[in-house]
Structure formats: C-alpha cells, structure tokens
Amino acid sequence: METQFSGILTGILAFPFVAAIIILFIDKEQKEVIRTIAAFATGASLILAALVFFTYDTEAARTANAGLIDSGSGLLTFQFVDKVTWIKELGVSYQLGVDGLAAPMVLLTGLASFAGVMISWGIEDRVREFMAFFLLLVAGVYGVFLSTDIFLLLFFYELAIFPMYFLIAGWGWVELREYASMKLTLYILIGSVIALVGILVLYFEAGSFFTENPDLLPATSESAYSFDFNHIQYAAQQGAFDDPQYLGLGKEVTVATFWFPFIFLGFAVLAGIFPFHNWSPDGHVAAPTAVSMIHAGVLMKLGALTAIRLGVQLLPDGARVHLPWIIFLALVNVVYGAFIAFRQRDFKYVIGFSSVSHMGLVSLGVATMNTTGMTGAGLQMFSHGVMTALFFACVGMVYDRAHTRDIPSLGGFIKKMPLVAIAFIIGGLVSMGMPGLSGFVAEFPIFVGVWRGIPELIWNNENHPEWATSLTSGGANYYGLIGIAAALGIILTAAYVLRVVGQVFFGEFDEEKFPDIPPIRIQDRVAIYMLTAWLIVLGVYPKLMSDMIESAVQPVVGLLTGSK
Amino acid sequence: MPELMQFNTDDTRGFLAILPEILMTILVLIVIYMDLFLPPSRRKSVGYMAGVGMLVIGGLAWLIVPADGLKVSEQLVLGGMVRSDDLAKIFKVMVALVGGLTCLMGMGDIRLRYKGEFYALIIIATMGASLLSSAADLVMVFISLETLSISLYVLSGFVRRPETPNPTEEAFASRSAESGMKYFLFGAFTSAFLLYGLSLLYGFSGGHTNIYRIGQALAAGEQDTAPIILALMMVVVGFGFKISVVPFHFWTPDVYEGAPTPVTSFISVVSKAASFAVLTRFLLAVFPPEQLISVPLDQYKEFSEIWVQLFSILAVITMTLGNIVALSQRNIKRLIAYSSIAQAGYTLMGVAAIATTKSGDGAAAVAYYMFMYVFTNTLFFACIILFTNATGSETIADMAGLSRRNPWLAMGITIALLSLAGIPPTAGFVGKFLLFRAAVDSGLTWLAVFGVLNAIIGLYYYLVVIKVIYVDRSPDDEKPIDLPAPYGFVMATSTVAVVLLGTFLIGPIVNWASEAGLDLFRL
C-alpha cells in the first residue's frame, strides 16, 4: 500500500494524546501547570482543526467524487490523508482523512474541547486525573471523526466511551453519577458491539466476494480482506451484500437489509435515537459541565456520523428499506423529547431532553435520503453541537453559583450574570430556529427535505421498480405529514426555551437566597465568546459550511439513488 | 493403511526445540543450590536469580527459530515427542516471561519471599507448561501436564502454619492447605479421565502414540464412531479442568481465593495458556477437519464437526456462567476467578473456530488472546498483592480511595480491568476483536453475538471495581501505599506490555500468531 502522510490530522490526534500522558507524570499539586498544558493541547488541536476546515477544498471534493455523485459508483475521496499500514494480516491500516461531513465535526470537537478545558478551570479535585481522562476522551472523539479505516474507527469509538465513564462517575453530580455513568456506558457499548458483529460480517462477505472476483478489487486495496472504508463500500457497490436468502430468512433478506438496522441503530444509540435515548438526559445531567459539553456537543454527533458512515454509506440497500420506518423513530425523538423537556423542573434536564429532541432532527434529516435533508442534518450536527455546549456551559456557571438547578427557585440572574444570560438567550434562539442564527440554516433544510420526501430516483427508478413498492405499503408518500408533525416540535421548543429563560434569568432576584454570586472567570468568558460567535457567523453566512457538507452528502445520496 | 508419517531426525533441531526446558532445569538446580548455601542475609538474590533467569530464558526462546519446514514431519523432532513450530514458540515465550514475572512477584509476598522451594517449583511448573505447549505425543502430553499440575498442587498449599501462634496467619495457612487439597483431588480425578481417554485413543489408532499419526489413523475410518467420541469427551474433561470450563470449574474460585496470590496469578495464566496450546494442537491433530486429512481414501471419517459444536456450546455456557456469577462477588480474588472462567469461555470461541477457518484465524486468535491475557492477569495480581499487603483485606469494598492512596496502583488495576473488559487502547480489545472475527469467519456469527453480549456483562462488574477505586472514599484516603522495587518492575513491564499489545505491537504479534495458526494447518 502506498504510504501517504500529510501529518496535520495526526497532529490533531497527537496533541491531546501526548498531553494526557505528560500530565500523568506531573506532580498533582501543580494544578495550574496541568490546566495550562491541557489548554495548550486542545488549543493546538483547535488551530489545526480550523486549518483543516478553512483549507478543505470543496470543489476538488466535488470533482473527485463525481462518479459517486452521478451514478453511485466509485471510491470516496478524502482530504489531508495520513495512511500507514498497521496490521497487515487483518487488512488494517492507520488511515486518517476528512470529507465534507467530518471537517465541520473536527472543528466542532476543537471548539468544544478547548471551551471545555476553559470551563473546567475551577475544578480542584484530582485535576491531574480529570484532565488526563478529558484529553483521552477528546483524542478518542477526534479519532472517530478522522478515521477512514473501520477497525481504527471502532478502536477510537470504544476508546472515547470509557473516559466518559470515569469523568461522570468521578467528578459528576453526586446523587446521580454512579447510576448515570453505568447506564450510559452499557447502552452505548451494547449498541456498538452488536454493530461490530455486523461490521465483521460485512468484512468477511466483502473479503470472500473479492476473493471470488479478484478483478473487481479496487485499485487502492492490496488484499481481498480489508477494513478500509472504501474497500467495503466498493464491495457494497459491486453487490457483495445483495445475495438473497441470507440466513434462510426469505428472498427479501440480504446481508445489507438484515444488518442495516443493527449497524445503524447500534451507532445511533449514541445519537440518542428513540427508544434508546434513555441514557442521554441522565448522562448529561450527572456529568460535570465540561463533560456535558463534550458529551452532548460532540459525542452524540459521533453516533450520528458513524451511523451515516457505517450504516447508510456502507449499506445503501439496507438504508432504502429501513430508513422509511426509522424516520418515525426520529419523529418521536423530536416531538417527545421536546415535550418531556417542557415538563422538567431541573434546569439541566431541560437541556438534556432538548438534546434528544434536536438530535432527532439530525436523524430526521438523514432519513429523508435527499441532499437537502441530509445537508440540513450535517449543519444541525454542528449547530446543535456548539449551541448545546454553550447551554451546558451557562447552566454550569449558574449552578456553580446558585448551587441549585431547580427552575422555580431560580430567578433574575440576568442582573448578576448578564453575559451568561445573553449567551443563553442566543443559544435559546438558535434552538428555536430563529433566522439569522445557525439553528435556522440547519433546521430549515431539514424540514424542506422532509417535505420533498423520498427522492424521485428512488421512487420511480426505471431499473428498480421494486424500490418504490418496498418503501411503503400503500404507495403514499407520508413524508409531508412527518414534516408537519416534526414542526410541532419546534413550537414546543420555543415554549420550553422561553419558559426557562423567563424563570431563570428574568424575574426577581432573591438576594437572601443567593447572597454571594462570584464573578465569571476570564476563561469562562473566552469559552462563551468563542461558542456564541460561531452561532452567529454560521447564521449570517451559512455558505461557509453548507457547501462543504453538501459536497459530502451528494455522494451518499448518489449511493442511495444510484442505478447500479 | 496409509503411509506412516516420518519424523525429523536432526538432533540439533531436537536439542534446540527443548533448549528452553533444558535451561529451566539448570536454573532450578542453581536456585536450589543458592537456597541451600547462601547466608540468610543474601537470600534475596535467590528470587532475583529465578526471576531474571526466567526472563532471559524467555528471550532466548524467542530467538530460537523453529524448524521451518512446510511439512509436519519436518517439525516433529525427538522421535515425534515434540513439534517445534510457531505455536509452540509463542506459548513458550509467553509462559517463560510470565514465570519470571511471577518469581519477582513472589519476592514481595511475606509468606513466600525467602523460600527457595517456591521459586524452584514455579520454574518446574513453567517447564512443564512449556513442554506441554509443544507436546505432540500422548506420553509427552501426559507427563508435561502432570509436571505442571503436581507442582501447582504443592504451590497452592504452600503456606505453612507459623511456629508462633498467630490467628491471621493460621487462617491463611488453613485456607491455603484446603485449596491445595481441593485442587489436588479435582486434578487427580480429571487426570484419570484424561489418561483413560488417551489410552483409548492409543488403542483405537492401532498402537500409535504420536498425535498426528493417531489423527490420520482415526480418519482412515476403520473404527466405530461412538467409542472415539467417548475418548474425545474424556480428553475434554481432562483439559477442561485445567482451563476451568464449565462444568469442570468448581475448584477455581476456592483455589484462587485460598492459594497465595502469586500462585493464583500463576495458575490463572501459565497453566491456562499451556492448556489452551495443547488443546488447540490436540484437537486439530487427533480429530482433524477435512483439509488436514492426508488419507488418500474416498471414505474417511471426520470428527471435527462434533467438537466444533461441543466447544461452541461449552463456550457459551462457560462465559455466561462465569460472568453472571462474577456479578455477585465481593472478594476480589473470587471475582477474578469467575472472570477467568468467563475469559476461558471467550477463548473457547476461538477454539470452536479453529476447525472451520481455513487460514488458521481461530488458532491465531487463541494465541493472541492468551498472549495478552497472561500479561493482563499478571498485572492485575501484582496490583492485588500490593493492595492486600497494605490493607490486609481482599474485599472489593476495601479498595475504596485507592486512587488517592497510590494513583499508579489504581491505574495498574484499571488498565488490567479494561483489558479484561476489552476496551482500547489495551490489548484486550484486539484480543476480543480477533476472537469475534474468528467466530464470524467460521460461520459462528451467533457465537460472536453471545460473545459480545457477555463482554457487556463483564464490563459491568469490572467497571464496578474501577468505580470503587476512583469514586468511593475511605477513612484511609490519606495513607499512601508504597511501591516496592520488584513490584514496580513487574507492574511497569506488564502495563507497558498490555498497552503496547493494544497499540503499536498489534502488527508484529498478530503476524506471529497468524504464523502459529498457519503452522497448525500444514500437512
């Protein structure tokens, strides 16, 4: 295999990793040194991530993926590739690269992790261990977004989960942390290991397919068995997963249609898809502030992106069969999540359930299977990530000072913490989908996408008339109704956001109950400014990101509608 | 009758094949001599001699290149007694290194520290394990297995009553004696089964003792099937006891709890690893799958399907029972005993997969899993000894606050437990991945699903221990625990090994394990 190495992505990955190891060897009393190293490492990664985001060549990506976009055949081109053979026997290589979906996510990780370190400046208990685990978590998250080898991706995926456990169990909210951390870990790992079995099946099916048809082997692959993302995707295009009668389950059942739900939902657990969302609000609430930010802001996107990568992109045939019913799960997410959020008394639970609701919009966008909806989903991942990180930062700051999160007993905090209040209100407007802010540019395309429904190429494909019939029983396109129902979720969102803003930040401030409100640290300010700026910039100038995401979504839609 | 398989008569090859064992025998003599003649003030060097000596032998065993013939007959040396191949090599290196680490670990245990016999017995047991992993003859299998077992019976009951009355020490001594006796009775019983099974195989094959000859003779199909399956079952009982397969696991928790901790560590790794080595070799040689049968007849008998099913079922039962019972344990040594049963269950998935994977993936997965498992468990037990020395307790609840008392110790236990749970970047992730891969490859996807679900149950109780260490507080939080030199070395070595095996060394070791797996699939 040819070795390629540009080193930028490896750098993004290496800073937090190396810093985590260095921190372990520093005396535990040197807290300020430890924090500075953590800030430096996440900051350096953020700069590199921004470099990747701003120099990503969208036009080149479109040209390179023209085959995939037009006819759904070809290899996906990644940029900034680092590629070295790792385990030859298994066909595993250390392979990093970004496409238009991953690049914004990498930037998001950089923002949330740097802001997270800033927000955690006040932690005094075992700072060394906290920062080491936090950096390990960040490295794991980066790893998942950057991996283009499936083994490597799974490696980082599991690597990202267990620091979560430590951070929540060790530094979380005392009353809930043991329960919540264990629940979170078990939910996510059950999903991912079942998906892992599915991935292994794909690996062997692809391997035996290429062993029988060595002339079809893509030029980039050395052996028939490989965990390279493109290798397995190419096998899917060539029909390696299409044999009917898989496991003797009937002629409709193929490898693709059998394993798609397991792989897609297995990863979507981490994106909080209904009915597997239950770990998420508890996890958000129990986690310390910085971890909530990474958790809701980035980790849930890990699930969403992996579900798109390994679910939809590897198994488009399965996606066509299953996404039309999975869209109902997404709808439940949106509406039910918003409704539950409305009913919460605990400030942090409101945000926790709002994440469930907003991540439902991501799943909704993916399930539309058209470019508009999926672009919206990609934008929503970024927008929600920044927004929710900001939310949790604000909630954390209020809680640190008020020592309660009970909404009715709070009030008037805008007088004491104007910056936090304004940031929270901006976040709230984003969450409601206010035009001019990033939430609108993300949610609007999703609803348009849902309204447009399943693309013509799937509905009326001359080569595949069975696609239309397999989608619905009555032949009716119910996506419009779904769009209307999901829009109700937005109304509920407005209701709960306004309620929280009104009761927490406005109203009378009780001087007796909260006698001492210390000022906000400079580090907190940095985090707030940084996150808020992105919400506004993206709202005003969405082209910054939408083109890039669209260029990555088109190949996926190409795979879904392609007429092999 | 098919033509008889010939053996390699090159004496240098034969000598090299058992050179590690020869060196271990010499080391035993040196250790005993030092123990007898050194003044008590310099007894400490006995432990260093044994430990470092074994590590050096492990290194040498790695340097010796096995007879690289493409044919089994060229690798069978010393009259067919042993087979010198990559599988034997990987297991020899593994047991010698871990034997050395165990000796160093024993230096920190107050009850074992100054007893030369302890080191001598560990080395003898390791020698038995080392021979077992290359044994290719019924006689050799049995002799090396007994060399290993009898040393372990003695070691389990090693703690003696103190000369001055001391209730704590007396309790330790009686627990140890009980565990030694239990281990011996169970062991002798199952050895009898094994021996009977081996003698039946000798008879059915028409008087062969070399396992490869037996395999070809049985495949020729001149015997009834039923008695051969009976012999297979008896052999499974014998090996199943050593690797604590359910339902032959009852001794495990009691022996693990009662034996001195370094011995527990040794039993849980060396004896298990060598038994897995001989099990894979034995099954493929004596009951070969289709592609390993060289009989040029149209009619041959094939027993591999039977034992593939048998081991699939045993794997599911073993891992499920081990994991579920482990959930309710309060004593850390009993917890790890049940966990080791579960781990044996995972490894059995690899054993079930060896017959059907053409590329030797199954055997490679077993070899890799054992390679990482021995270091992981050694690390874990090294930490546990330190913890019990400091607190005098083996209860999980007493581990509270450990991360504040000694962060390195806490991290050692955490890395070991994460590796057992199969979380990257530790070696356990790759180990489990290879086992699941082998299972899926051989069409046992359902077995892999059972495996991953069990891995989640396992994760739960490992995380509970980690939670106690990192989250719970205890009144002793402020009392630091010291890290004495030999432990520091054992812990550092095995931690580095566990992490490297999960990251940078995956490539070379998987390569090696695959070579080992391929070797088993040569005719």
pLDDT in tens, B69-110: 677 788 888 888 888 888 899 999 999 999 999 999 888 777
The answer to whether residues A141 and A293 touch, using CB atoms and an 8 Å cutoff, is no
Tell me the pLDDT tens digit for each residue of A319-356. Answer: 888 888 888 899 998 999 888 888 888 888 888 898 89
- Shortest CA distance from B432: residue in chain A: A193
Q: Which residues of B touch A89 (CB under 8 A)?
A: 364, 510-511, 514
Q: Which of B455, B460, B511 sits opposite A193 (nearest CB)?
A: B455
Tell me the nearest-neighbour CA distance from B102 into chain A, angstroms. 27
Residues in Cβ contact with A71 at an 8 Å cutoff, skipping those fewer than 6 apart = A558, A562, A563
Residues on chain A touching B404 (C-beta within 8 angstroms): 126
Contacts of B512 in chain A (CB under 8 A): none
Q: Which residues of A touch B460 (CB under 8 A)?
A: 182, 186
CB contact, 8 Å: B459 with chain A? Answer: yes
Cβ-nearest to A88 among B448, B463, B507 = B507
- Interface probe, candidates B510, B512, B515, B518, chain A, greatest A C-beta count within 10 A: B510
CA distance A514 to B354: 68
Contact A227, A92 (CB under 8 A): yes
- Tokens for A63, please give them: 């040209």
CB contact under 8 A, A178 and B471: yes
CA distances from A523 to A297, A396, B473 (A): 19, 14, 31
Residue from the list A170, A193, A204 with its beta carbon closest to the beta carbon of B452: A193
For A169, which of B425, B452, B471 is closest by C-beta distance? Answer: B471
Residue A158 has its nearest CB partner, among B424, B460, B471, at B424
CB-based contact, B437 to chain A, within 8 Å: yes
Contact flag B429-A177 (C-beta cutoff 8 Å):
no
Q: Is A125 exposed, middle or buried (0-12, 13-18, 19+ CB in 10 A)?
A: exposed
Does residue A38 surpass a pLDDT of 70? yes
Distance (Å, whole) CA A356 – CA A526 = 27
Lookup: tokens for A224: 């028939």
Contact residues, chain B, for A126 at CB < 8 Å: 403-404
In the block, which residue shows the tokens 């980035």?
A298
Q: Is A81 helix (H, G, I), strand (E, B) or coil?
A: strand
- Asked whether the beta carbons of residue B436 and residue A200 sit closer than 8 angstroms, the reply is yes
Q: Which of B414, B429, B433 to mutate to test the interface with A (most CBs of A within 10 A)?
A: B433
Which chain B residues are Cβ-neighbours of A154 within 8 angstroms? Answer: 433
Instruction: Please give the residue of chain A at the shortest CA–CA distance from B364.
Output: A89
Q: Do B506 and A87 touch (CB under 8 A)?
A: yes
Determine the average pLDDT of the residues in A166-195. 86
Question: What pLDDT is attached to residue B190?
Answer: 92
Binary contact (B467, A169; C-beta < 8 A): yes
Instruction: Please report the pLDDT score of residue A525 as a whole number.
Output: 86
**B424 contacts A177? CB cut-off 8 A:** no
Check if B152 contacts A (Cβ < 8 Å): no
Closest chain A CA to residue B459 = A186
| DSSP class per residue in A238-280 | TTTT--SSGGGS-TT--HHHHHHHHHHHHHHTTTT-TTS-THH
Compute CA A352 distance to the chain's CA centroid, rounded to the nearest angstrom: 15
Whether A182 sits inside 8 A of B463 (CB atoms) is yes
The secondary structure of chain A in percent helix, strand, coil, rounded to multiples of 5, reads 75, 5, 25
Dist CA B343 CA B374 (whole Å): 11
B423 interface with A at CB cutoff 8 Å = yes
Residue of B nearest to A161 (CA): B423
Question: What average pLDDT does chain A have?
Answer: 86
Percentage with pLDDT > 70 across chain A: 97
Q: What residues contact A387, with CB distance under 8 A and at least 6 apart?
A: A358, A427, A430, A431, A438, A439, A535
3-class secondary-structure state, position B300:
coil
Give the helix ranges, DSSP H, for A307-437.
Answer: 316-342, 347-367, 371-402, 413-416, 418-432
User: Are A86 and B507 a contacting pair at CB < 8 A?
Assistant: yes
> What is the residue whose two structure tokens read 């221990």?
B465
**Cross-chain residue pair A129–B437, CB shorter than 8 Å:** no
Find, in chain B, the residue whose alpha carbon is nearest to that of A151.
B433
Beta bridge partners of residue B135, listed in sequence order: B82
Which residues in chain A are contacts of B464 at CB distance < 8 A?
A: 182
CA-based nearest residue in chain A for residue B415: A162
- Grouping H, G, I as helix, E, B as strand and the rest as coil, residue B406 is coil
The alpha carbon of residue A172 is apart from the nearest alpha carbon of chain B, in Å, by 10
Residue B167, judged by CB atoms within 10 A of its CB (0-12, 13-18, 19+), counts as exposed
A89 CA: distance to closest CA in chain B (Å): 6
A187, closest residue in chain B (CA to CA): B456
How confident is the model over B25-36, as pLDDT tens digits?
999 999 999 988
What confidence category does residue A256 fall into, taking pLDDT thresholds of 50, 70 and 90? Answer: confident
pLDDT, position A469 = 59
**pLDDT confidence of residue B297:** 60
CA distance B228 to B242: 22
| Of the candidates A145, A149, A17, the residue with the CA atom closest to the CA atom of residue A94 | A149
* Biggest CA-to-CA distance, chain A: 79
Give B-chain residues touching A182 at CB under 8 angstroms: 460, 463-464, 467
Among candidates A162, A186, A194 on the partner chain, residue whose Cβ is nearest the Cβ of B460: A186
Distance from CA of A86 to the nearest CA of B (A): 6
Q: Decide if A165 and B511 are in contact by the 8 Å CB cutoff.
A: no
Chain B residues within 8 A of A24 when measuring between CB atoms? 411
- 3-state class (DSSP) for residue B359: coil
The pLDDT assigned to B357 comes to: 60
Task: Please write the tens of the pLDDT for every residue from A459-498.
Answer: 777 777 667 655 554 445 678 888 888 888 888 888 888 8
Instruction: Judge whether B493 is closer than 8 Å to chain A, CB to CB.
Output: no
With a cut of 50, list the residues of chain B below it in pLDDT: 1
Domain boundaries along the sequence of chain A: 4-559
Chain B residues close to A151, C-beta within 8 Å: 433
3-state helix, strand, coil in chain B (%, to 5): 75, 0, 25
Identify the residue whose tokens are 């039910």: A336
Query: In this complex, is the C-beta atom of B445 within 8 Å of any C-beta atom belonging to chain A?
Result: yes
Distance, in Å, from the CA atom of A333 to the CA atom of B29, rounded to the nearest integer, reads 72
Domain ranges for chain B = 308-523
How far is CA B16 from each of CA A345, B65, B72, B84, B126, rounded to the nearest angstrom? 75, 9, 17, 9, 18
Please give the interface size between A and B, counted as residue pairs whose CB atoms are below 8 Å apart. 89
Omega before residue B425 within 30° of 0, cis: yes
What is the tens place of the pLDDT at every residue in A348-389? Answer: 888 889 889 999 999 999 988 888 999 999 999 999 999 999
Distances in whole angstroms, Cα of residue A520 to Cα of each of A524, A525, A526, B461: 6, 7, 11, 41
Residue B124 class from Cβ within 10 Å (0-12 exposed, 13-18 middle, 19+ buried)? buried
Confidence of residue A515 (pLDDT cuts 50, 70, 90): confident
Which chain B residues touch A129 with a CB distance below 8 Å?
Answer: 403, 407, 470
Q: Tell me if A200 and B448 make a contact (CB, 8 A cut-off).
A: yes
CB A328 within 8 Å of CB A269: no
With CB atoms and an 8 Å threshold, state whether A129 touches B407.
yes
Shortest CA gap A44–chain B (Å): 23
Minimal CA–CA distance to A522: which of A406, A419, A368, A386? A419
Are A165 and B463 within 8 A, CB to CB?
A: yes
Chain B positions in Cβ-Cβ contact with residue A186 (cut-off 8 Å): 456, 459-460
CA nearest A562: which of A458, A473, A459? A458
Query: Which residue intervals of B354-480 are DSSP H helices?
Result: 361-391, 402-405, 407-421, 427-441, 445-470
User: Interhelix angle for B272-286 vs B225-242, to 10°?
Assistant: 170
Identify whether the C-beta of residue B263 lies closer than 8 Å to the C-beta of residue B155.
Answer: yes
A563 pLDDT exceeds 60? no
Give the bridge partners for B331, in sequence order: B395
A196:B441 CB<8 A: no
pLDDT attached to residue A474: 46
pLDDT higher than threshold 50 for residue A289: yes
Contact list, A196 vs chain B (CB under 8 Å): 433, 436, 452
